[in-house]
A and B are shown apart, each in its own frame.
Chain A
């Protein structure tokens, strides 16, 4: 299109192709809207929409903060008039919540560890394999579970790991009596790892791709065995990817609801399940909101510590130094 236009017009008077003119107009518009002297603020301008979008959540958090400062009046089921810290006191004084919080944190840590342990070799093979077919197959395996959602996947695990399920049948073939594989803490962690694995691999793969193969060869030619090459070359270079994946897996696991609800058999509640109970079962929104805010603080502190130890740009993976 632009070419024909420019040819026709060239006969009348010389004019730049349409595309150039559009670009120039856009440039001029940009210069007027956002003059070059504003350049130092461009970063802020670009990030503002995201800040505003997440601001929706913050508005919600303010509502939560407000309701967390009222207790529930069980005669009218309305929040109390006055402000009080009683809900927070309840959380801190009740041993059950302490146990549940500890359980969530422990599960998040274990999930991060096992997920990365599995994701690292998976991404490594996927990136390094010379066969394009193998690579594609590994990617497809990764993508399919995304499409069937967490609840249905958890249900699939229920069928597999059940007392009469496939796993126990397989054990039966080698003469092992059926054992209870479900409804305990390891089952919940297993479910979380299964759920998080695709996320982690997808986040690790680009970081591994960025490591030149030659670096490894060089290490090997200097006499390092593969384990040492991996430990001293690959892992440090993949660190931004590992941190990014760890952050995502850790925060998602910490706040997860469905896996403990479905695979925990009711006695493996996480904080999110306790929040659910307060909001939906006992209609005590104030206590639920207090728990939710504590969870946000806990998660944010965890993220903040990781980022300040390992440096900025971990979510942005190697941003401007």
Chain B
């Protein structure tokens, strides 16, 4: 089982792995290799006809879609618990269930309240205030930021992927603010060490930093935030019985009870109806459940994303490395 470390794996262990072991007697080992870094290992294993190094991959839907398109994932459409899931579980733009989404998350604007004495930032443009020069952070490929930037730059979401000039215009403006660029762990470190005042990051990271005593809040500005999903999938080339148990693991992860425990740990909305939000996250913008919650969130199909992501990353890098 591949998982992200820290809070992420703790939550998974409590919600799914421990219950799986309890029910089947099979102990679960967690491989903490990053999703990006396990991908070439899995692809090479399937291409060379070897048994892949893991049984279940916990992955971003975008990355998993690439694997599904490449044909290295097992079909999951016969899982019994799929019957009880919402539309969110179904991967957009793929046939059947080569992967199955397990929860959604929001790339929020996280900020330190003391840096925003007038209340939460209302717009992504607030970050252009000269006092935030060198004090804001984005993902180093710009993920999560492209779509709100498109709106903030005066463009419309219909312009994705063909007319993204407004987005790049806004990224150029942001570049003048010398943002720090990093990955999940960097944001936590930077907030903690007082290096930054605001960041575009997944709400879970903000939540984790807050739990560790960093004074932090988050918001969805007027232009909206990117909403995306994570998923589970089973690689091909596993021995038959191992593939069976791997699927059972995914099935268990979709059960009401597992979703409740697992996602309480992550503070994220799941894919089965009737989950109770963790305390403090009810009506929080990072925990969308009702249709009106989604009004400010931007969801772009993963098919469009995987087609164009490389170009977006390259363009973002081109501006930022200048």
Contact (Cβ within 8 A) B70 A266: no
> B53 interface residue, CB < 8 Å from A?
no
Q: Which residues of B contact A75 (CB under 8 A)?
A: 69, 307
- Whether the Cβ atoms of A99 and B180 lie closer than 8 Å is no
Q: Given contacts A77-B66, A265-B180, are A277 and B320 in contact (CB under 8 A)? A: no
With A74-B310, A277-B141 as contacts: A283 and B321 at CB distance below 8 Å: no
Chain B hits for A279, CB < 8 A: 40
Cross-interface CB contact of A281 among B43, B70, B306, B313, cutoff 8 Å: B313
Q: Does A280 contact B (CB under 8 A)?
A: yes
Contacts of B140 in A (CB 8 A): 266
CB distance from B314 to the nearest CB of A (A): 7
Chain A residue with Cβ nearest B34:
A280
Contacts of A165 in B (CB 8 A): 193
**Could you tell me the distance between the alpha carbons of A183 and B310 in the complex, rounded to whole angstroms?**
25
Q: Is B195 located at the chain interface by the 8 A CB criterion? A: yes
When the two chains form their complex, are residues B66 and A265 in contact, meaning their CB atoms are under 8 A apart?
no
8 Å CB interface, A154-199 against B: 158-159, 162-165, 180, 182-183
Q: Is the CB of A266 within 8 A of B320?
A: yes
A76 within 8 A of B: yes
Q: Closest approach, in angstroms, between the C-beta of A155 and any C-beta of chain B?
A: 8
Q: Which residues of B contact A95 (CB under 8 A)?
A: 318
- Residues of A near B63 (CB, < 8 A) are 283
Q: Which residues of B contact A280 (CB under 8 A)?
A: 34, 36-37, 39-40
Is B322 at the interface (CB under 8 A from chain A)?
A: yes
> With the chains together, A59 CA to B37 CA distance in Å?
22
Instruction: State the total of A-B contacts with C-beta under 8 angstroms.
Output: 80
Q: Report the bound CA distance from A267 to B307 in whole Å.
A: 25
Within 8 A of B (CB), among A248-290: 265-267, 269, 277, 279-285
Do residues A265 and B182 form an inter-chain contact, with CB atoms below 8 A?
Answer: yes
Looking at the complex, which one of A76, A100, A164 makes contact with B321 (CB distance below 8 Å)? A100
Q: Smallest CB-CB separation from A96: which chain B residue? A: B318
User: A78 on the interface (CB 8 Å rule)?
Assistant: yes
Report whether A163 and B193 are in contact in the complex, using a CB–CB cutoff of 8 Å: yes
B309 CB contacts on chain A under 8 angstroms: 282
Inter-chain CA distance A95–B34, complex, in Å, is 29
- Is B134 part of the contact surface with A, judged by Cβ < 8 Å? yes
B317 CB within 8 Å of chain A: yes
CA distance A48 to B310 in the complex (A): 43
Min CB gap B140→A, angstroms: 4
Given contacts A159-B193, A280-B37, 15 further A-B contacts (CB under 8 A): A74-B310, A75-B307, A77-B66, A94-B314, A96-B321, A99-B322, A162-B195, A265-B182, A266-B180, A266-B320, A269-B321, A280-B34, A280-B36, A280-B40, A283-B40
Which residues of B are at the interface with A, using a C-beta cutoff of 8 A? 34, 36-37, 39-40, 43, 63, 66-67, 69-71, 134, 140-141, 178, 180-182, 186, 189, 193-195, 306-307, 309-310, 313-314, 317-318, 320-322
Binding site for B on A (CB under 8 A): 72, 74-78, 94-96, 99-100, 158-159, 162-165, 180, 182-183, 265-267, 269, 277, 279-285
Q: Which 9 A-B pairs have the closest CB atoms?
A: A266-B181, A280-B36, A77-B70, A266-B140, A282-B310, A96-B318, A265-B180, A162-B193, A77-B66
